[in-house]
Amino acid sequence: MNSFDPAGFVSLVALIGLVILVAGLVSGLNERLGIPAVALFLGLGTVLGPYGLGLVDFGLGSPVLLTIAILSLVLVLFTDAVTVDRDALRRHARIAAVVLGPGTLLAAALTALAAWKLLGLHPAAAAILGAALSSTDPVMMRGLLRLPGVPAAARYPLRIESGLNDVVVLPIVLIGMVFLGAAGAPVSGSVGKVGLSVFVLGPAAGILVAWVSVRLLVYARGWMGMRRDYESLYVLGIAFTAYAVAELFHASGFMAAFAAGLTVASIDVELCDCFHDYGEATAEMLLLLGFIAFGASLIWTGLEVLDGPHLGVAAVALLGRPLVLMLLLPRRGVDPLARRLVIWFGPRALASLLLILLPIIAGIPGAAELFPMTALVVLLSVVGHGAMLAWATHRLKSRADPLSSRAGSGPELPGAQLVMHPELITFDELAALQAANTEVVILDVRSPRGYDVSPLTGKGAIRLSPTAPAENAASLALPREAWLVAYCA
C-alpha cells in the first residue's frame, strides 16, 4: 500500500497557490512588456527545483506531473474548441485551412524526416516527435492575440491554429504509439482499434456528454435558475466528464474533450461569459503549473543533447512551419503584417511537452528518449518566440487605435491619454466622445455592497446590477448604438 506523503501534499498545494498568486500579480506586467508567462514560470520552476532551492522535483514518472499533464491537455482541448468562432472561421477560412492543413502536417512531416535521418529514430518515434513539435502553444499565442493592434487576418487564423492543431496532430501521436509499441510491425487490428477510438468512439462520447449537459443546464435555468458562479464551474464538469466517459469505454478521452467543446460551441444556447472565462482561466493556471513542474528539472534535459544532429532537428522543427507557410499562404488580399505574424509566430511550449508525454505515460519502450529533443526545441522556442512577442508588444501598441479594438467604432481621439487595454477607457477618451456628440451611457456596475455603502455616483450614471446584467440591461432598454461605459469603483 502506498503511504500518504504529507510533506509532498503540502508542497503541491503551496505550488498551486504560488502559481495563482504570481500569475495574478505579474499579469499586468506581462501584458505591458510582452514578457511571456511561459519564461517566467519556467524560471520559477528552476528556482524551486533541484538546481535552486530544491523544494520540488518532478520526474517523468511522477504521478503529480502526469495528473497535471492530463488535466491540462483535457482543458486546453475543450476550452479552445468552445471558443471557436464559426463566423470568424468562415471569414478567414482560406488562411486557416493553410495553417491547419499543410502548415501543420507538412511541418510535422519535415521534422519527422529530419529526426529519422539525423537521429536514427524508428519511423514511428520520428512521427510522434514531428507531430508533437508541430503543436503551437496556446498560452504564448494568447499573449500575442490579446494585443489590440493585431490585424484580424492574423488574430483569427492564429487563434484557430492554437485551438485546433492539437487535434490534427493528436491522432498521429496515438497511432504512432501503436506502431512504436509493436516495434514497427503494423498490427492492423490494433491500428483499427486506435482509429475507432480516436475518430469514432471518442468524439461520440464527447458529443453525447456535451449535448446532455447543455440540455440539463437549460432545464435547470428554466426550472429553478442557476447561480453564475456555479455555471462557471459547470464548464469543468463537462470537460472532465467527457474525458472520463470516453476512457471508461476505452475510447480517446482527449478527442472526447475536444468534441464536447465543439458541441457546446455549436449548440444555439446562450452561455454566460463566465462559462468561457472560467474555463480558459483554469486551463491557463494548470498550464502555468505545468511550466513550473517541467521547469524544475525536466526541461533542462534539452541542454544535454546540444550537438549537431539534435540542433539540426530543432532547426527544422522551428523553421519548417515558416517555410511551408511562406510558400503557401496567399499574398493577395492579405495584410502584409498579418501574413508575417502568421508565418513567424508559431511558439512551441507546453502543448508539445504534453503530447510527447502520452507515449511515456503509456509505458512504451524508448518513448522517454524523445523528451530531451522536445525539451530542446521548447527552450529555443521560448527564447526566440518570447523575444518576438516582446517586439510585437511594443510594435503593435504603437500602431493600435485603442477604440478600434473595442466593440463598435468611434471618432478618433487625438491627444487623448491612452490605456492600452481592449476593455478600458480613460477620462480623456470619454470626454472626447461626449464632445463629439456621440451617444454615451454611463453605467454604475458596482457590487451591491459598494453601491449601498457609498453615496457618490457618476454624473448621469444609470444603475446596472452586476449580478444579472443581461436581464437588467433588457429592462432598462439601453440604446443599441450607444457607447456603454461602465465603472465599478
Q: pLDDT per residue over 354-382, tens digit each? A: 899 989 888 888 899 999 999 999 999 99
Report the pLDDT value the prediction gives residue 272, as an integer from 0 to 100: 57
- pLDDT band per the 50, 70, 90 thresholds, residue 23: confident
What local confidence, expressed as pLDDT, does residue 211 receive?
94
User: Of the candidates 373, 399, 425, which is a domain's last residue?
Assistant: 399
Q: Is residue 428 part of a domain?
A: no
Residues 301 and 379 in one domain: yes
pLDDT at 222 over 90: no
Q: Is residue 433 part of a domain?
A: no
- How much is the pLDDT for 378? 95
In a domain, 49, yes or no: yes
Is residue 235's pLDDT more than 90?
no
| Separation between Cα atoms, residue 17 and residue 14, nearest integer Å | 5
What is the share, in percent, of the chain residues with pLDDT greater than 90?
27
Q: Are residues 175 and 120 in the same domain?
A: yes
Residues 466 and 350 reside in one and the same domain: no
pLDDT of residue 119: 96
Last residue of a domain, one of 399, 422, 448: 399
pLDDT at 382: 92
Q: Residue 178: what pLDDT?
A: 87
The total number of structural domains in the chain stands at: 2
Is the residue at 246 inside a domain? no
- Burial-class residue 472 by CB neighbours within 10 Å (0-12, 13-18, 19+): middle
**Does the residue 198 lie in any domain?**
no
Within a domain: 279: yes
Q: Is 204 within a domain?
A: no
In which domain, by residue range, is 476 found? Answer: 439-487
Query: What is d(CA 380, CA 126) in angstroms, rounded to the nearest whole number?
Result: 19
If you average pLDDT over residues 169-192, what whole number do you get? Answer: 71
Same domain, 183 and 296: yes
**pLDDT at position 7 over 90:** no
Q: Quick one: pLDDT at residue 275? A: 59
- Winning range, highest mean pLDDT, from 68-77, 125-134, 288-297, 326-335: 125-134
pLDDT number for residue 208: 96
Task: Identify the pLDDT of residue 471.
Answer: 62
Does the residue 416 lie in any domain?
A: no
Same domain, 327 and 392: yes
In the prediction, which pLDDT does 151 show?
Answer: 82
* Shared domain check, 84 and 23: yes
Residue 15: which pLDDT band, with cuts at 50, 70 and 90?
A: confident
Pair 383, 465 in one domain: no
Indicate if 379 and 464 belong to the same structural domain: no
**In terms of domains, do 378 and 451 share one?**
no
Verify that 476 and 354 share a domain, yes or no: no
pLDDT for 108 beyond 90: yes
pLDDT at 187 over 50: no
Q: What is the mean pLDDT of residues 316-338?
A: 90
What's 115's domain CATH number?
1.20.1530.20
Residues 455 and 338 occupy one common structural domain: no
Q: What is the mean pLDDT of the chain?
A: 80
Are both 483 and 355 inside the same structural domain? no
| pLDDT at position 183 | 46
* pTM (2 d.p.): 0.75
Residue that is last in its domain, among 370, 399, 428: 399
